[in-house]
Amino acid sequence: METNVSRLLERRKRLLRKLAALKLVVHGSYIERFSTCARKHCACHQGDKHGPRSYVVIYRNAQQRQVYVPQAQVRAVRQGLRQDEQAADLLRKITDINLALMRTGALEASGYEGQEGNKR
Ligand SMILES: [Zn+2]
């Protein structure tokens, strides 16, 4: 039992390290579309729209928002969206480990593991 718990803790530590490395993570989805600009007399308002331009679609307070992505940042944002999928996968695995720890009764104490200045 004890070795089972320490194996779970070791696996969780590895997964948390991977999660922390996903620095570019962007939780959303990528779209490209044509758009009009703010200049009143621009040809885009006559149907000759700009684009395709890149956007990230995110949700805040149950509202969809499209955030413009400058061309030079597209590659990093797309990498961030892939990292988002990796993060979701890691969170599923960490959840499974934490539920296994819960069943052994070790979950609560494991929250203090490796935390500085917060030991009993
Ligand atoms: Zn325009």
76-88: per-residue pLDDT in tens?
999 999 999 999 9
- At how many degrees (to 10) do helices 74-104 and 2-20 cross? 160
Neighbours of 5 (CB within 10 A): 17
pLDDT at site 2: 63
Task: Give the distance (Å) from ligand 1 centre to CA of residue 26.
Answer: 28
Distance 25 CA to ligand 1 centre (A): 31
What confidence tens digit (pLDDT) does each residue in 1-60 have? 567 999 999 999 999 999 999 999 999 999 999 999 999 999 999 999 999 999 999 999
Residue 71 has what pLDDT?
Answer: 95
Question: What backbone torsions phi and psi does residue 83 show, to the nearest 5 degrees?
Answer: -65, -30
How far does residue 15's CA lie from ligand 1's centre (Å)? Answer: 46
CA of 66 to the centre of ligand 1 (A): 18
- Condensed to tens digits (0 to 9), the pLDDT of residues 97-120 reads 999 999 999 999 999 876 655 444
In b/e form, how buried is each residue of 9-43, taking b as 16+ CB within 10 angstroms? beebeebeeebeebeebbebeeeeeeeeeeeeeee
